[in-house]
Structure 1
Amino acid sequence: MNDEILVPLDLSDAIAMIDRQKEQIAALTTENERLRKEIKEIKEKIKLTNEYVDKYHGLGDRSLEDARKVEREIALSQSETQWLNR
């Protein structure tokens, strides 16, 4: 008689475990999509920064100073974006 009671409990535990795993997969999928979007945005910013540096490459130290300024602006923009996404 105990076996009859344990079988539904085991099945119930298995179903609960599957449900928890589905929830974990859904959460990971959402996080994955968010990270892919963030990576895409960062790649676009890198592309724009590279274009900017290429454009002003012949200016010597001034070019490096401008590139660093753009990098600081990108870093600030990224931190603002991360803060807003919380």
Structure 2
Amino acid sequence: VNEYGSWRSRKLVDFFEHYCKTVFSRYKDKVKYWMTFNEINGCLEVARPWHQAGIVYRDDEDHYQTILQASHHMFVASAKAVIAGHEIN
């Protein structure tokens, strides 16, 4: 969270995709249904963004813009994970 700023960073999309590919490859024969994120829209609760996205606001940032960016990254990561899941299994 401190190094990359949690889901406000685009780098987490690639990290999450790599994580999912690893887990999908290892457990593909044992798990029938996968869920990437539960209720990404929970991030839009500006007062408590750390619950879903691990966001700790900086003093100089627009909180709403930060949450929208984090949500976008989570949606992209979820889409990439779904694609990877279909390719692997």
Shorter-normalised TM range: 0.3 to 0.5
Q: Comparing both structures, which one devotes a greater share of its residues to helix?
A: 1
Structure with larger Rg: 1
**What TM-score do the two structures reach when normalised by structure 1?**
0.40
**What TM-score do the two structures reach when normalised by structure 2?**
0.39
Q: Which of the pair has the greater relative contact order for Cα pairs under 8 Å at 6+ separation?
A: 2
